[in-house]
Amino acid sequence: MAEVLSTQAAVKKASTAASTQTLSINGKSFTLDADPKMPILWALRDILGLTGTKYGCGAGLCGACTVHLDGQPVRACLTSLGQAQGKRLTTIEGLDNQKLKNAWAEHNVPQCGYCQAGQLMSAAALVAQHPKPTEEQINSAMSGNLCRCGTYPRIKAALQNYAKQEG
């Protein structure tokens, strides 16, 4: 099922490189007219209304915008619409690892919650690859996600608890 969403950005000026982009997001197909250079972060947030993916730095330094492209964690602020063509995009709205979310809730991880979508997406990619991540794997996979509130000890605890449950 294709949902056609036209963007105001597309109807501007002859010089624009706007073209039709087809994206697969959370299992649905979306078609939009936009510049293929537009980072998917802004297409998701401003055009498609999927605001769960957050802006934090625009430079791949904070991880707040982490999404999955064909299952791999990528920064939506550095990934263009063009690069996402023909690939499966998963955002926090489509994250189906309930067990991971439960671990987050049990450890009361979020404070302000703003970075947590990115944290969860990085964590989900980690446990998809390593269902029982070691401390080293947790450190490595989560080091790209900043949390100014300082929820790191609980993120770590939630992931360690998740690993235990994997038995």
Partner 1 sequence: MSTFTAVENISRRDVLKLFGAVGGGLALGASGLTWSPMALAQDKEARLNLFIAIGEDDKVYLTCHRSEMGQGIRTGILQVLAEELEADWDKIVPIQGLADKRYGSQNTDGSRSIRENYDRMRQMGAMARTMLEQAAAARWKVPVSEVYTADHKVLHAKSGRSAKFGELALAASEQPVPAVESLTFKEIKDFKQIGASRQIVDMDAMLSGSAIYGYDIKRDGMLYASIMRPPVLGSDVASLDDTAARKVAGVVDVYRLPAAKGAPAFQALGGVAVIATNTWSALEGRKALKITWTQADNSQHDSTLYLKELVERVQQSGKVVRQVGAEIKNWPEANTLKAVYTVPYLIHSSIEPPVATAHVTEKGCEIWASTQTPQSTQQNVAAALGMEEEAIKVNVTLLGGGFGRKSKPDFSVEAALLSKQFKRPIKVSWSREDEIQNGYYHAISAQSYQALFDANNKPTALLARTGFPSISSTFAEGVEYPSGGELDLGFVDVPFALPHLRYEAVKAKAHSRIGWMRSVCNIQHGFSAGSFVDEMAHRSQVSCFEMWRSLLGEARREAFSEQGFKYGNYGEDLSRHPVDVGRYLGVIDAVEKAQAKAPKAGKNQGWGFAVHRSFVSYVAVAMLVEVNEDEQLKVLNAIAAIDAGTIVNPDRVKAQTEGAIVFGLSLALMGEITYQEGKVQQSNFHDYPLLRLPQTPAIEVIIIASNAAPAGVGEPGVPPVAPSLTNAIFAATGQRIRDLPVNKLLRV
Length in residues, the chain: 167
C-alpha distance across the termini of the chain, in Å: 39
Residue 66 three-state SS: strand
Pick from 36, 52, 69, 132: which binds partner 1 (CB under 8 A)?
A: 52
The reply to whether 145 sits near partner 1 by the rule CB under 8 A is yes
**Shortest approach of partner 1 to residue 1 CB, angstroms?**
21
Burial 56-76 (b: 16+ CB within 10 A, else e): beeebebbbbbbbbeeebbbb
Q: Are 162 and 127 in contact (CB under 8 A)?
A: yes
Contact window for partner 1 (CB under 8 A) among 55-63, 68-76, 82-90, 124-132:
55-63
Residues in binding contact with partner 1, number by CB under 8 A: 66
What is the contact surface with partner 1 in residues (CB under 8 A)? Answer: 7-10, 12-13, 15-18, 35, 38-39, 42, 45-47, 49-59, 61-62, 64, 91-93, 95, 101, 104-105, 108, 110-117, 120, 138-140, 142-156
